[in-house]
Amino acid sequence: MSNTRIERDSMGELHVPEQALYGAQTQRAVDNFPISHQRMPAQFIRALILAKAAAAKANVELKQLSESQGKAIVDAAQGLLEGDYMQHFPVDIFQTGSGTSSNMNANEVIATLASRLLGEPVNPNDHVNCGQSSNDIIPTTIHVSAALGLHEQLLPALVHLVQVIERKAVQVHPFIKTGRTHLMDAMPVRMSQVLEGWAQQLKANIGHLQDLLPSLQSLAQGGTAVGTGINAHPQFAAGFSRQLSNLTQVQFTPGKNLFALIGSQDTAVAVSGQFKAIAVTLMKIANDLRWMNSGPLAGLGEIELEGLQPGSSIMPGKVNPVIPEATAMVAAQVIGNDTTITVAGQSGNFELNVMLPIIAQNLLSSIELLANSSRLLADKAIASFKVNEPKLKEALSRNPILVTALNPIIGYQKAAEIAKTAYKQGRPVIDVALEHTDLSRSQLEILLDPEKLTAGGV
């Protein structure tokens, strides 16, 4: 075969692309798993490369590698991260459940580059994989990549969304709208109260994510094959976590029980469950925006979202709430990702979970989707929507539910009669109440003032 070279592993010889940095085991995985043609996420590969660098540094300290070998491995890893490293990692997501193929892919690529730097052979297994097993490095990489994704992407995006909502709440505080329960008219609320409710939902989600970070930053590394730590130096786990913390500026620690971290993916399941909760919150916000924006004539028409693109290929002038719609689809996908992770999390058979790659893929996909959609929702929907005050006032003046404020004075039954009459006749409730009670207009204006009905305007 042209443009290939012969590589060998414990199973024999095979052809590998001539310019490929990887070797035989990676090529076997490429040949064995032509399933989705989707590679492992870039965030995962980045974390795996960082883990290899941290392992090399720890092994040099512990005299398991020579200084020259360790430096060559670290330099090779850093060189990869500075370039287009994904071209060297072709293994499909749907591969061996331990992620061994991806681990060996990294070992082979780094070994090739390190050998070139050192001028002598650096072995993928004996040197790059020193003190490690796929069974602890892949669970570790899942935790590391997810933790970095939270610190660098999702948490900052959620904080930004909260800040934008809170600024908008200040701007829209003067506006009062008809509240709705069961999608039916209810007591009035301030527009700011609606937004502050969204912000509090997100703040609670941020807090729950932060509570999970210590577990996510606790690593399986050092357990090697089954959790016993065979072939790893007794101090390797501590040294690895310290070196990785230095490389990432995120505080990682050795797991308290390595058997649990290798045999299960409970932390990933818990983190994904919180992603699902965030998705539910974003779905609620997106749908509230869509409803308030509906119309402009036959819907609620309470706000006008920023027009971003034509809304129809056949209806001229139509503009749709595209950002909330995209956010709602993200929420649906994240909920689906969580279902996959839940099923995969059940595949901890004895000493190893065997669905690690798909857990990594879905966990990191959820982080990216939630982070990106949160920023778009903040900047292209919430920050820029306009309030339709005339529409708000028109609906409020005709809202028969305002009569609820009269319950303590005239009783529920009398108030219900007034509400039904106002609705049937399409008249303002204050006019009907004037006819059916002994209260004066000035008294009714005070009692039925929407501003006073929103908790004193607070």
324 vs 304: CA distance, rounded Å? 13
Q: How many CB atoms lie within 10 A of CB 319?
A: 16
190 vs 168: CA distance, rounded Å? 12
Among residues 78, 244, 216, the alpha carbon closest in space to that of 154 is found at: 216
Q: Which residues contact 156 (CB under 8 A, 6 or more apart)?
A: 371
User: Catalytic amino acids?
Assistant: 182, 312
Q: Is the peptide bond before 296 cis (omega within 30 degrees of 0)?
A: yes
Asked if residues 109 and 60 have their Cβ atoms less than 8 Å apart, the reply is no
| DSSP 8-state symbol, 234 | T
450 vs 454: CA distance, rounded Å? 7
Token pair belonging to 42: 């870039």
Distances (CA, A) of 404 to 351, 412, 416, 455: 62, 8, 8, 14
Token pair belonging to 161: 């969304």
Can you spell out the DSSP letters for 252-300? -EE-S-HHHHHH--HHHHHHHHHHHHHHHHHHHHHHHHHHHH--SSSS-
Token pair belonging to 26: 């990676």
Q: Which residues contact 99 (CB under 8 A, 6 or more apart)?
A: 134, 138, 141, 356, 357, 360
Residue 75 DSSP SS3: helix
Distances (CA, A) of 308 to 90, 164, 331, 409: 37, 19, 21, 50
162 vs 140: CA distance, rounded Å? 31
Pairing of strands 176-181, 348-349: unpaired
